[in-house]
Structure 1
Amino acid sequence: MNDRPTLVAESQPVATRVDPVTAAVIHGALENIAIEMGHKLMRMSYSSIIRESEDFGAALTDAEGGQLCECKMSTPLQSGPIPGYIRGVKRRLAARGETIREGDIIMHNDAYAGASHGPDVAFCVPVFLDGQLIGFSVTTAHHLDIGASSPGSAGIVDAVDSYAEGLQFKAIKVYEEGRPNAAVWHLLRDNLRASDLVVGDMEAQIKAAQIGAERFLALVRQYGLDTVMLAYQDLMDYSERLMRNAIRALPDGDYSAETTIDGYLDDPDAKRRDLKIKATLRVRGDEIEVDLTGTSPQVDDRPINLPFEGTVDCAVWLTLRSILLDSAVYGDVPQNGGLTRPIRIVAPKGTLPNPTFPAPVIARFCPGNALADTVMKALANCVPEQVSAGIGNLRCIAFTGLHEGKHWVHMEILEGSYGGRYGMDGMDAVDTLYANTRNNPIEDIESHLPIRVNRYELRDHPPAKGKWRGGIGSVREFTFLSNGAFSVEGEGHKYRPWGFSGGEQGSTSSLLHLRAAGDEAQMPSKVPYHGADATDRLLALGPNGGGYGDPFERDPEAVLNDMLDGYLSTEQARADYGVVIIGKSVDDPATRALRASALR
């Protein structure tokens, strides 16, 4: 028996805070890591959807999936779901009895376990410190083909269930303890069209995620894990305080709105067309509940259902964050899980925004944008000076064909437009709400694809009238230079973007297939795989956003500028805005008299 007295160390207080300067430095370092990951991914990628459109995500999380930072160039619908990816991966691995080890790289695209939809594939690199899992470095990206029943990964609007949407990667280890799983890579190359392109993009994702993991580990070694995590918690708490303060400034109450989307307008089954999205926002103190009860039931055999985690949550969070914490007012707001703590989302099971597996979801993009627009419409009842009128929805077109026995695939995200907002006209021909992708340069398209871009311009249809006019959609015309095909997922061919506070509704979009033989076909907003011959043309008119406010209150000089830019005629200026234009100037007395007579 050892009679030596036991030495009891004097207890030391555990740090619960980190000084603000150190926290700010760590915050900046984390953001820079995510930005570097994004730049490296873009530079290494093969496809224009990542390299040019920036349809990717990059982020670091803690060991449980809490988001530490995200790349600012990425799209909200890519970086936003990353915490859900990690939670889904951990659930899948735990259910199989698998553990995460150093050197593993995990591929995941399960839309019912965190992913946004199948083509958005994540590669997750676990980060270990002295044998302890401390976080993940993750990249996501939209891939041009995922092995579905028809080519491409956009415009797959006829999949009858999740299995028809393409390959499902449910927490698959493509590297195990540093060793590549050759069978998985053989499977990918044998089942993906344009596999060199797609697999090349996947390899770029892995390398970018590995770079992020290395940088994160170096940061932790420099400052210590506890300090980094304390700085992260401080940042989360700061973001949460901002959101709670913004919610607290709202009047308590219930605020509701509804939107009707096309669905499948040419379908004889009424359950697949004219679908309703309803949102009720319940503001209580410093919290908001977003209740989607009343939204249409899921469509069992068409892929326009919305994954609750990965699409619905991101659409709601982004809308609330962008309206209540407008960056023009608040500056740079740290994007992390603290922003979502005061927000609760309710969606009944078996509805569009919370489908039951295996309901297909791959074409969830446009309905999700309509959901975000509906949340904004509900907020218009509460903060009318912080919202825009109705947005013109986006559209995705997949172009494809065969060249010397190999597939080529190209994806175009065609712009929508914003509605007018208090003090500002709507933005013209831009991606809206949670998309935020960039356009593909014409030079890039024509340099490596058998497609010619004939027209790329603003449409001629007058913008929606308002004190602040709606944004203008684009005209896009493409010519096939060889035989091929296209498929389309879109919205807004029947229902116009909503006007607000006396503003006019926006204009619908349209799609025309102009065949080489000389005939033409008006296409619905959703088109499954559709053949096209060489010299066939596809003409797409984008939607105009809604107007905001009484048109007769619009600044006459703004009306004049619209006339000079060719958006209006002098007759339309007089009839729609009560503005009299003589030559290139406003006749102020005549304008005042005309507007006064209209008020009587």
Structure 2
Amino acid sequence: MNTTVKGRRVPTQFPFGSLTADAGASADPVLVEIVQGSLASVEMEVETAIARTSRSPMIRDAHDFRAGIHDRLLRKLTGRSYSALVHPVVRDFPLEEMRPGDVFFHNDVYESEGGIGHLPDLCVTVPVFHDSGNGPEVVAFVQAFGHHDDIGGAVPGSMPSNATSVYEEGLMVPPIRLWEEGKPNRAALRIMTRNSRMPESLAADLDAECAACLMGARRLGELFDRYGRDTVEACFDAIISRTTQTYRREILSKIPVGTWVWEDYAEHDGVEEPKLHRQRITLTRTAPDDPEGERLIFDFSGTSPQAKGPINHCGDYSDGVFLKKWLAPILRNLADTPERMAELDVNEGVVPLIEMRFPEPGTLLTPVFPAPTNARTFVILRLLGVLAGVIAKAVDGNMPADQETIRYTGVYGTDHDGRPYLMREVLGGGSGGRYYADGEDTIHVVPDSRNLPTEFTESRFPFLVEKLSLAVDSGGPGKFRGGLGYEKHIRMLRDAHFMSIADRSILSCWGVKGGKAGRPFEVTIDPGGPNERRVGALADAEPVRAGEVIRIRTTGGGGWGDPLERDPKLVVRDVRWHKVSPEGAFRDYGVVLTGSVEDDSLDYDEDATRKERQRRQEKAAETAFFDRGPGYAQLSGGATAAEVDWL
């Protein structure tokens, strides 16, 4: 049965709930561990199979995909990574109509219940069957979705930066039965590959994903055969219930009862001139005796109207279930230790602890069809930072500073044999400094994803990678420095076009509690040459001549704490490691260096450093709790901080 909410069809037969009356309390604790380990093993086996048998660089080499396992109530059971939702498949194909060997497919943003953000994310779903004596019945789902090279649309890569309609972004496919009882739907596959500029790699990737999920379904079916349906489902309940209780005990308890507000911004939408596109969260932590339960309320009221360009994200479908699981990993930063943080999975157990309140349709988070969405990372990545920021206000800054760890860059043209090619990769950036440690360098938000190997790209595409290093001084200064971004130099061997879908080229990753903002994203073509030019962060077809170099510098994370409180020995170490320049050591940290790196005599003058820092501290004025960097004034009319930046 389906119901209609805000004009959308959503399944109502599977509300959040447990399969057993005691919510898994009767499950054998040892067996629960076995089942949980088996789920993780199946998920990893599916991802390994996809990585080994797919063809496109984005899937095979960059690993921009992930798998997930869900039960028959559509609850996500695994927590190593986020994944899409099963809801749209079950909405259109009732469980009783599914058969062993079926494979379902969709990529339609507006028909995905919020589980798909843009059209290049293709999703494959396979039901798992078990026969308890009444014939095969659906007991779970194995799903894989990832970012594919091209699904049609106005530009190679299916991410036109100036799109004003989803129709410009590629082929939209609502949930369909791509395989029926083991037989592929050749007509549907032909339609999809015909719409792609990279038909061979698309076909190979889909084949790899379908085969891997079918294999995963067989493995999961063996688990039910071994222990029985009732036993396994009781373990599912116990796994989810344990997550709920753990987050309530270890995470919610760290946030005091109260309400806080914070906001951050995307800077451009590819259509209008750069401006502040606001995303706001009002966070309320309810009391344990609240009549509706102890929980966190995320209210997105105050978020800007939907953009004309493609930065919108459909977040309010199915009560924001996908968005809850997308944002919940930020909460893990409240764990007692980094080791404990790494142990906390994000599965369906976090859902009842979070309530989301969305504004009316027509905002960045509630766009109205056919608003474009291909650059929706500008919103969903920013929301991670907004949540971190609003929690930082609640817990005296004991949260990491900001990070921006995904942007798409690439080149396309024809190779030496006259064949068209598309090279696109997702380059990470630095993570924010933390109250106990520096940020990490060049991290990627998608688990196990990475930059493309130089050896592979140089052998396949007509360019040379002349440099891949850390971007010096990109990390925001702080008592704990922000992580560094990439610096990558690509020398083209043939005329081509450069593309980029990136944010944080004007605004920076913010610092917190005295920490300074990191360096923004920038691309320069022919640096130091006669045709040197900066390229906007949103570019579809910037011409690059043979022999010219493309220099890409990705964002550094924000700093945490006053840079003048950083241990001078760590600054000396950073200069020696080429993470901070000698000029940056004095400019940002007030450290007076002596000696040089070249002859290994680098050190610092302790007395001069102490006096320089004391001089700066005496002149320092009161500053906001957050530092947004110099780009904020450019877009805010001269203001250096927003009203919400003060405690």
Normalising to structure 2: TM-score of the pair? 0.82
Preserved contact between residue 475 and residue 539 of structure 1 (Cα < 8 Å) = yes
1:117 aligns with 118
2:466 aligns with 454
Counterpart CA distance in 1 for 2:336 and 2:501 is 31
Preserved contact between residue 431 and residue 440 of structure 2 (Cα < 8 Å) = yes
Quick check: 1:234 aligned with 2:215? no
Report deviation, 1:598.
4.8
Counterpart CA distance in 1 for 2:513 and 2:567 is 16
Which ranges of structure 2 fall in alignment gaps of 5 or more residues? 1-20, 288-293, 596-601, 619-647
1:479 aligns with 491
1:100 aligns with 98
Counterpart CA distance in 1 for 2:351 and 2:322 is 14
Counterpart CA distance in 1 for 2:429 and 2:70 is 32
1:182 aligns with 186
Letter in 2 for 1:133: V
1:7 aligns with none
Number of residue-to-residue matches in the alignment: 571
Report deviation, 1:187.
1.3
For the structure 1 residues 435 and 452, does the alpha-carbon distance in structure 2 shift closer, same or farther, using more than 3 Å as the test?
same
Report deviation, 1:469.
1.6
Q: Which moved further from structure 2: 396-405 or 515-524?
A: 515-524
SS in 2 for 1:32: helix
2:392 aligns with 380
Report deviation, 1:495.
1.0
Report deviation, 1:142.
1.2
Counterpart CA distance in 2 for 1:284 and 1:333 is 22
Aligned residue runs from structure 1 range 364-513, under 5 A? 364-384=376-396, 386-403=398-415, 406-432=419-445, 437-461=449-473, 463-513=475-525
Percent same amino acid among aligned pairs?
A: 29
Aligned residue runs from structure 1 range 275-314, under 5 A? 275-285=277-287, 286-300=294-308, 302-308=309-315, 309=317, 312-314=323-325
Letter in 2 for 1:274: L
Report deviation, 1:359.
0.9
Question: Which among 169, 174, 177 is matched to residue 170 of structure 1?
Answer: 174
Q: Which moved further from structure 2: 215-224 or 555-564?
A: 555-564
Aligned residue runs from structure 1 range 47-196, under 5 A? 47-69=56-78, 72=80, 76=81, 80-82=82-84, 84=85, 86-93=86-93, 99-112=97-110, 113=112, 114-130=115-131, 131-153=136-158, 155-196=159-200
Letter in 2 for 1:137: V
Counterpart CA distance in 2 for 1:257 and 1:224 is 48
Report deviation, 1:415.
2.0
Letter in 2 for 1:306: H
2:637 aligns with none
2:603 aligns with 585
SS in 2 for 1:380: helix
Counterpart CA distance in 1 for 2:109 and 2:501 is 18
How large is the RMSD of aligned CA atoms in angstroms? 2.7
Letter in 2 for 1:202: L
Report deviation, 1:424.
0.9
Report deviation, 1:535.
2.8
Letter in 2 for 1:100: M
Preserved contact between residue 427 and residue 450 of structure 2 (Cα < 8 Å) = no
Quick check: 1:211 aligned with 2:209? no
Q: Which moved further from structure 2: 590-599 or 55-64?
A: 590-599
Counterpart CA distance in 1 for 2:474 and 2:46 is 42
Counterpart CA distance in 2 for 1:461 and 1:578 is 14
For the structure 1 residues 385 and 474, does the alpha-carbon distance in structure 2 shift closer, same or farther, using more than 3 Å as the test?
same
Higher relative contact order (CA 8 A, sep 6+): 1
Counterpart CA distance in 2 for 1:54 and 1:490 is 19
Letter in 2 for 1:292: F
Quick check: 1:328 aligned with 2:339? yes
Q: Which moved further from structure 2: 434-443 or 492-501?
A: 434-443
Counterpart CA distance in 1 for 2:369 and 2:515 is 41
Preserved contact between residue 397 and residue 512 of structure 2 (Cα < 8 Å) = no
Report deviation, 1:123.
1.2
Letter in 1 for 2:262: A
Aligned residue runs from structure 1 range 18-57, under 5 A? 18-57=27-66
Q: Which moved further from structure 2: 35-44 or 389-398?
A: 389-398
Counterpart CA distance in 2 for 1:530 and 1:585 is 44
Q: Which digits, 9 at most, give the CA deviation of each residue in 1:115-153, with x for residues without a partner?
A: 232111111111222221112111112110111221114
Letter in 2 for 1:540: I
